[in-house]
Structure 1
Amino acid sequence: MAGVGFKLNKLFHRGGVSTDLLAVAYSVMVSSGPWIITTFSLWILLTIFKTDNIYFNVSIVYSFVTSIIVSGLFIMFESRRISDLIFLKDYKKILPEVMGILTYSSMVIILIMLVFFAFNRNELWFILSFSYLNLSLLSLWIISIASLSSDSVNWYILAFLIMGVFSIILSNFFGSDENPLGYILGYAFGVNIGTFFHYMIALIHFGSHMGISFEWTKELRKYWQNIFIGFIYYLALWIDDFVTWFSPHFGEIPLRGFHFSFIYDSPMFIAYLTIIPTSTMFILVLETRFYKTYKLFYDSLRQGFNYAEIEIRKNNMLSELKYDINLVVRIQLAFTFSLLFLNELNLIPFVSQVLKPILRLGLIGAMLNSYYLMIMLLILYFDFRNTALYLNIFVFLTNLTLSFLFTYKLGYYALGASYSIAFALGTFIGYKVLIKKVSNIIQLEYYRQKLNVEDGYYINYNDMKRLMEENQG
């Protein structure tokens, strides 16, 4: 994100209203641009071009969910590995290692497809096209991390825009009501074009070192937590949907093996779109305000400042952290409560009276999820990987348990409550842990350091003192 921070600071330092607005727009595109573009392109396909085919709809929903969850096994580790290589200026290793990660992740998703369709027989054309779309989206998520790691943020956004445009054009060119295979493959081909542009961005920026490298596997033991942090977070995010899909009262089965819940999916999808303010403000305050105090503190540690100066910089960083979190929370709170008000007045499009109670809980849950994600990323910012992992496991288990309880015992009016409660608890606990750790960050960083001592036998000072006293006695 170094390139993003540099760009935002440059815009803000100009001091004009127009440049401030441009910085906000830039932050929106970086934090939510791919999501907005993808969602908008799908909306065009489904509403304007009337691509309302059950095979296409099933393929889109399940391939996005599956590819995102599987990518969660790799993208946190991939991000850390790329960061380390950039820090070491070992750029030639980045792209080959990304391709190695893509190879492993593709094997995982192919195995999932084989197992799933072994138990859920479908037509061969659907199995192949659905699997291809999954692989295409997975490749996009993995390679776009390398693209974003370059300084070419504008090209990164453009690559997603190209993907959105071509997915619309090719899906309608190849597909028809009589040929749903064309819809699926056309969309996948559009994704492939976007992925190719991301690959070219990384190739140009990090050097033309092609091939596949598995050297990154040597770092798995060191950063094993990163493998599970993303994976479990995405499971925690989706588990309430899975429970609702498979419930007898709210689930539907449009195709063999594929479950949906229209009454739950539609309002929750709208709710997910409302966390853009948090994503935007988090990037803004992290890269323009908090990072400055963070860098000053760690510079004082590396440069050997006296303890009093380090303590002052730590307190400044902690104060800035609390202020920035409070700022993001207040902005998202105002935005969410505005939508809640509109929901009560029946002024939100595509939301009927039946969906209104679920959207109410969904809006609150999405807001809390955005807070939780912010806290978790800040915890990872300080490299507390075990804390982030345990927190994700807690939220996942809470959402899973409450989803079964609310869906099967309480029913319709409790749909979405498990999602809200799980992320509310995760946010509260995560914030308390984060503030406590940052308050004690000097001691924690000291204990993290490896002592530069030679191998040998050492005796504790107190034990040596006691032995001397015994000998004198």
Structure 2
Amino acid sequence: MAGIGFELRKYLNDDSFTGTLKAYGFAGLISAGPWVLSIVGVMLIGIVALTQPVVGEADGSGVRQFTTSVTWLMGASLVLTGLLQLVFTRFVADRLYEMQDTIVNANLFGAMALTTAVSAAIGLILALTLFSQSFAYEFLMLANFVTLGNIWIVVIFVAGLKRFKLILYAFALGYGATIVLSILLLPFGLSGLLAGLLIGHALLLFLMVGVVLPEYPVTLTVRFDFLQRRLIFPSLIAIGFFYNLGIWIDKILFWLNPGTSEAMIGPLRTSLIYDLPIFLAYLSIIPGMAVFLLRIETDFAEAYDGFFEAVRGNATLQEIELLGNHMVSAVREGLFQIVRVQGATILILYLLGPTIIGWLGISEQYVHLYYINLVGVGAQVLMLAVLNVLFYLDKLRDALLLTSTMLLSNASLTWLTLQLGPQYYGYGFGLSMTLTAFLGIILLSREMDNIEFKTFMRSRPAQEVAA
């Protein structure tokens, strides 16, 4: 955290409104920037494409086919790679702790090779069974799916290096290139848009790989040590999969329900009444994610390091208790700050809701979807902060309980609201995220109580010691 933490504290230590604004703005861009850039990039491509007769038919179906395809690509690739993301990151962290940095790049190549093979096989099977579109469309969808899968593996790897600023720059360049190339390739219609997206994603992937490789001894070999059974944490496989599927399951249910969606291209469906409100609500995460980076990934991380350095060293019990109390205070203050800032953001966007919905041309009948989704997204940010602290404390069982609760509650409650009717749409997601956030706070509070005693009394196999 050296570079990011130092720069953020430099702004905060300015002790002025401008300095605070800079700190939170910078943190918001770093933490939520890639997500915002990807949304804005795809939206800009769609807006430009609508003005072109080749793609923007009178009903806008060409653009909607593109945005629907991209949304399914994003969701499917995230859910699939969720099986590997966390377990591979933990493998790398443990090897670095053991000073085995010479095998990191080789295993990164192995993880990318595995991701490429699995995603290509799945994509090919789907292309041969469910799709009956042109060869160009199916090939570009397959290539984008494989590329995105590798991006999610590398981006979490880069995030583990705390190179957040480089991630932001890479996403800006990648999606900037996507916008330019998609506009240039517009005469080729839907295939041109997907080709521009593919080139931009490929550029993004190469940029991030270029960030990772110099960090460790460069090797051209490919290794699969991360697949050794003794080095795998099955709970991390489940957590990564449950988390990503839990985030997307409400969207998937709305897409698959004939009453709330329409067929767009091949087997892919879209939900006009649900998609735009939920993605607009997700743009509200920027303030909450800024606080998350400032208070959890900076203040808490520093307090955590101080506490466990004291435990491993020769500090007195009084010093350890003092540092433990400081760590607990950092967690509480971080969570309270997230609630305050995200709550204020929700209130402002709630008041602006009718204006925003009207400007976008969405029926006021569904403005409640936007409101409920705002609350759900705010709760999701809080839950993410809690989950992050649980990872720091190596409480994988609690993290598994949290993510499985999110998946099951979001799936069941969303399905229930679909049965109850339009006036209940969105409540499944909102209630699920709120329930999960409260559960996370309970689990975290239980762990933080008497943290010094629990730290000394824990007994785990050597291979499960957190790196």
TM-score by length of 1: 0.88
Distance 1:356 1:76 in 2: 36
Q: Contact 2:87–2:232 (CA<8 Å) still a contact in 1?
A: no
Q: Structure 1 residue 281 and structure 2 residue 291: aligned? A: yes
Q: In the superposition, relative to structure 1, how do residues 175 and 365 fare at CA in structure 2: closer, same or farther (>3 Å)?
A: same
1:250-289 equivalence runs, <5 A: 250-289=260-299
Structure 1 letter corresponding to 2:124: L
Report the Cα offset of residue 153 of structure 1.
Answer: 4.3
Distance 1:245 1:450 in 2: 44
Partner of 2:195: 185
Distance 2:330 2:167 in 1: 30
Partner of 1:146: 157
Report the Cα offset of residue 451 of structure 1.
Answer: 9.4
Report the Cα offset of residue 314 of structure 1.
Answer: 1.9
1:212 to 205, 210, 222: 222
Q: In the superposition, relative to structure 1, how do residues 190 and 347 fare at CA in structure 2: closer, same or farther (>3 Å)?
A: closer
Distance 1:60 1:172 in 2: 16
Distance 1:220 1:103 in 2: 21
Q: Contact 2:354–2:364 (CA<8 Å) still a contact in 1?
A: no
Partner of 1:435: 445
Report the Cα offset of residue 383 of structure 1.
Answer: 1.0
Q: Structure 1 residue 312 and structure 2 residue 333: aligned? A: no
Structure 1, unaligned runs of 5 or more: 453-473
1:70-89 equivalence runs, <5 A: 70-89=80-99
Report the Cα offset of residue 128 of structure 1.
Answer: 1.4
Distance 1:28 1:326 in 2: 17
**What is the number of equivalent residue pairs in this alignment?**
450
Q: In the superposition, relative to structure 1, how do residues 170 and 344 fare at CA in structure 2: closer, same or farther (>3 Å)?
A: closer
The 10-residue stretch of structure 1 (122-131 or 217-226) with the greater mean CA deviation from structure 2: 217-226
Distance 2:3 2:88 in 1: 18
**Paired-residue identity, %:** 24
The 10-residue stretch of structure 1 (348-357 or 41-50) with the greater mean CA deviation from structure 2: 348-357
1:331 to 336, 341, 344: 341
Structure 1 letter corresponding to 2:363: S
Structure 2 letter corresponding to 1:430: G
1:188-199 equivalence runs, <5 A: 188-199=198-209
Distance 1:249 1:284 in 2: 43
1:290-369 equivalence runs, <5 A: 290-344=300-354, 349-350=359-360, 351-369=362-380
Q: Contact 2:141–2:194 (CA<8 Å) still a contact in 1?
A: yes
The 10-residue stretch of structure 1 (356-365 or 150-159) with the greater mean CA deviation from structure 2: 150-159
Deviations 1:72-91 (A, max 9, x none): 11222233233334444433
Q: Contact 2:31–2:289 (CA<8 Å) still a contact in 1?
A: yes
The 10-residue stretch of structure 1 (312-321 or 219-228) with the greater mean CA deviation from structure 2: 219-228
Q: Contact 1:9–1:288 (CA<8 Å) still a contact in 2?
A: no
Q: In the superposition, relative to structure 1, how do residues 210 and 148 fare at CA in structure 2: closer, same or farther (>3 Å)?
A: farther
Q: Contact 1:4–1:287 (CA<8 Å) still a contact in 2?
A: no
Q: Structure 1 residue 172 and structure 2 residue 208: aligned? A: no
Deviations 1:36-65 (A, max 9, x none): 221222122111343652442232111111
Report the Cα offset of residue 94 of structure 1.
Answer: 2.0
Report the Cα offset of residue 224 of structure 1.
Answer: 2.0
Q: In the superposition, relative to structure 1, how do residues 152 and 381 fare at CA in structure 2: closer, same or farther (>3 Å)?
A: closer
Report the Cα offset of residue 291 of structure 1.
Answer: 2.6
Q: Structure 1 residue 23 and structure 2 residue 10: aligned? A: no
Report the Cα offset of residue 118 of structure 1.
Answer: 4.0
2:246 to 236, 243, 253: 236
Partner of 1:445: 455
Q: Structure 1 residue 129 and structure 2 residue 140: aligned? A: yes
Distance 1:94 1:336 in 2: 42
Q: In the superposition, relative to structure 1, how do residues 258 and 198 fare at CA in structure 2: closer, same or farther (>3 Å)?
A: same
The 10-residue stretch of structure 1 (208-217 or 115-124) with the greater mean CA deviation from structure 2: 115-124
Q: Contact 1:380–1:388 (CA<8 Å) still a contact in 2?
A: yes
Distance 1:104 1:211 in 2: 14
SS at structure 1 position matched to 2:132: coil
1:56-135 equivalence runs, <5 A: 56-123=66-133, 124-135=135-146
Partner of 1:246: 256
Q: Contact 2:226–2:232 (CA<8 Å) still a contact in 1?
A: no
Q: In the superposition, relative to structure 1, how do residues 255 and 450 fare at CA in structure 2: closer, same or farther (>3 Å)?
A: closer
Q: In the superposition, relative to structure 1, how do residues 152 and 418 fare at CA in structure 2: closer, same or farther (>3 Å)?
A: closer
Partner of 1:417: 427
Distance 2:292 2:358 in 1: 26
Q: Who wins on radius of gyration, i.e. which is larger?
A: 1
Partner of 2:48: 48
SS at structure 1 position matched to 2:206: helix
Partner of 2:37: 37
Structure 1 letter corresponding to 2:368: P
Deviations 1:414-461 (A, max 9, x none): 111111111111111110110111113233323334699xxxxxxxxx
Deviations 1:133-170 (A, max 9, x none): 11111122222233344465443322211101111122
The 10-residue stretch of structure 1 (37-46 or 325-334) with the greater mean CA deviation from structure 2: 37-46
SS at structure 1 position matched to 2:258: coil
Distance 2:94 2:261 in 1: 45
Q: In the superposition, relative to structure 1, how do residues 235 and 450 fare at CA in structure 2: closer, same or farther (>3 Å)?
A: closer
Give me the CA root mean square deviation: 2.4
Distance 1:403 1:185 in 2: 35
Report the Cα offset of residue 283 of structure 1.
Answer: 0.4
Structure 2, unaligned runs of 5 or more: 57-61, 463-467
Structure 1 letter corresponding to 2:5: G
Partner of 1:203: 213
TM-score by length of 2: 0.89
Distance 1:7 1:238 in 2: 34
Q: In the superposition, relative to structure 1, how do residues 323 and 158 fare at CA in structure 2: closer, same or farther (>3 Å)?
A: closer
Q: In the superposition, relative to structure 1, how do residues 407 and 153 fare at CA in structure 2: closer, same or farther (>3 Å)?
A: closer
The 10-residue stretch of structure 1 (47-56 or 128-137) with the greater mean CA deviation from structure 2: 47-56
SS at structure 2 position matched to 1:254: strand
SS at structure 2 position matched to 1:305: coil
Structure 2 letter corresponding to 1:190: G
Report the Cα offset of residue 131 of structure 1.
Answer: 0.8
